[in-house]
Structure 1
Amino acid sequence: MKYKTPAALEMAVRNAARESPMDTNRAIVGFYFHRFLCRVFSEDDCRFVLKGGQSVLARTLDARVTRDIDLVAQEESLEEAVADLVRAASIDLEDFVSFVFDRAEQIKEEDEYRCGAEVWFTPFMGTKKLQPISIDLVIDEVRGLEPEVLAPIDRLNIEGLPVCDYRVCRVESALADKLLAMIEMHEGRASSRIKDIVDILVYAKTCFIDGAILIERVEKEASVRKVAMPEEFVAPLWWKQNGSAQYVKMARQAGVLDLAGSITGAEEVVNRLYAPCFDRSENVRKWNPQTTGWE
């Protein structure tokens, strides 16, 4: 490897972070996320798929900052998935970085169709101990399409480090998951996850979307969750009454405030994006992020 010591590599990371278009601290934290993910996706028979906020960042720098990594495991049991993740994290990429498994805590899921665990690792740069990272690991019964394989846009370019492409949840599958998460009620309570609508706006602004695949994924997700599809999306009343400041902060950070300056505006974009799903349109079209409309 080009770098002879951990300190030399750490200096290269800091220099690359300062030169990147991202916030410097965010880029440095992201470096360790990506060293972890390069281990996970380095094997040809990898059974993990990246989803959540980190999968949005893989496509565009205009996305909200995420504090953890979301992975879906294509395994039969949670125990097997955790064991595979711990093994993958221990792969030596000869980059002075290592990840020590700390613990795994099963997540109490309200959904009968998926189970998961929060898995913690402590990164080291040489012998220097760093801030622990958490992985939200899920076994999901909502089987999706084959993931996309891509090189993440937000990964720092550090000369000489081994990297690989990632298996990332397809846009249409991610959009289906987020829509149903906003619609679904839990013990009579509406969703409080304003971040989901912000992520949807990021997809709407940056990704081409296949209408036929989106319809199919939304229908399957709704069926598995046993949720009746509404005629349109209506944001929870709490969001409009108490969540405006939170929405504006997250939307500004994600670069979508120009697309929708308020929750009401975001609601309109969501209904435009998911229109083929709500009206079950047979007119299959493509979503154009440049016009934020169907063509």
Structure 2
Amino acid sequence: PRGRLSRWLADPAILVRLARLGSAVRAGYWLPTVARWLPGSSRLRRLATEIPGTPAHVSVPPRPAPVTADRGRVILFPGCVASVFDRDTLDAARILLGALGHEVAMPTVPVCCGALALHAGEVEAAARSAQATHSALRACDAETALVCSSGCLGSLRDHGMPGSTLRIDDVLAFLAADVRWPQLRFKTLTQRVAVHLPCTQMHVGSGKQPLLQLLASIPGLQLLVLPNQPGCCGAAGNYFIEQADHADRLRAEKLDQFGRQSADLLLTTNIGCRIFLGNGLRQRGARMAVLHPLALLARQLETQA
């Protein structure tokens, strides 16, 4: 049922179990066969075939001298879906913020921006989620909360915390504006990298300028920005489950654009887009990673000047 589905997708404990299920699907176990027994319009069948496994954690070699956290504390918002399926992005954000001297705090309880409930028209559920999230973020004792997934940013900033003095910011814009960013050094990467700009990144996030500015720090990288149209990859929260046929057509158009770029890697800033586009590439037989730009930056991070 639609209400149960929304609750599943906003519950990190259930998402961890679904991720294990997704890993079984990727490994070619029995689930795809069982899923084919379900009706073609079944949301459970769609979820079973589209749920991914969890990404590997990101790490970088230790630096000769630890960076002192002398810039104050910021909160990193993990989200619900992103806390499980975008954990490499959260690792990367901690690494980059730490390299710039920021102390990074994260909520000790599950938090959700409420976007999935809002998409489903469950306004009261979204409000309850927002209230709990606000309390959890306030307990971190910082004035700024940074969001990695552009899909969470608008819901958290514009709907989740009316009247709050807590600053909600796009982590890409925050990093790009940091005066110490030019002091960081990155290893050369001679690859063609395609950048997908999610609807949320362009309309409620910081746009493409901070993103491209940060990626330009990696020597040798050739950036290829996918065309703006079609604007949506088809994921759109839980739209890819509710309207599977239309979502698949939108995804196919985006993947066709990507194929024409002959790129080595695909980057996107929204966890929903990452999952959906990644599954589409896998279904086409392409062995290619879809990453958040922060994950690539953290992997290439070398040291401070």
Q: Shorter-chain TM-score: which interval? A: under 0.3
Normalised by the size of structure 2, how large is the TM-score? 0.25
More strand by percentage: 1
